Amino acid sequence: GPTLEDLDPVRFIGNRSSGRMGFAIAAEASRRGAQVTIVAGPTTVEPPRVAELVKVRSAAEMHQAVIARADRSDVVVMAAAVADYTPAERAPHKVHKEDDTLTLVLKRTPDILGELGRRRLASGRGPLLVGFGAETEHVEEQGAAKRQRKQVDLIVANDVARSDAGFDVETNAVTIVGEGGSETLPLLPKSQVAAEILDRVEKLLVQNAARAEANR
């Protein structure tokens, strides 16, 4: 789902993510026998029943929850729409309407997926990493660049400018970018997109296990 970055006790910066895609992946992984932890931002969509549900509000809270659990996980799927920026200061009281314009100073939030990628690269071990890229143009190119930049196994890129895919709808059309190239899927229910993603995750897990066995 989204994260909400508070400006004051009344207002926040947020986005349109519903959490449906992440919940679909969690439900499918649980159906396949995985022990699943969901870290969910504020959303009105009912989450599936899983081993652990952690509710957070801000990007900082999501960062803390994910990092605390990542080393115990075989796979981390970052499907949340985490805010890139948050107010540098949260006003303690409601900011009242005065001038014609209002200037907000924002600061970068922690890059959760990038941190996981850097940690794995430095240590030589860690979970298989799947990230999402919500784009409005050049979806495949942006996805490939993000995969390289974040040092992750798969990026699932989707065009959120479409009315029938992405945020707050039941369907999605994605391009899955991996080491061997990219594959664009047609418009599908998010439950089917989840299955397609996890098919590829399972294949990578088998490959990684075989590679580790061969190196013993």
Asked whether the beta carbons of 197 and 156 are under 8 A apart, the reply is yes
- Among residues 15, 172, 208, 215, which one is catalytic? 15
Q: pLDDT tens digit string along 24-38?
A: 999 999 999 999 999
Give catalytic status of residue 215 as yes or no: no
Q: pLDDT tens digit string along 87-144?
A: 999 999 999 998 999 999 999 999 999 999 999 999 999 999 999 998 889 889 999 9
pTM beyond 0.85: the answer is yes
| CB-side neighbour CA atoms (13 Å) of 70 | 24
Instruction: Indicate the residue type of 120.
Output: R
- The H-or-E segment that residue 61 falls in is helix 59-70
Instruction: Indicate the residue type of 5.
Output: E
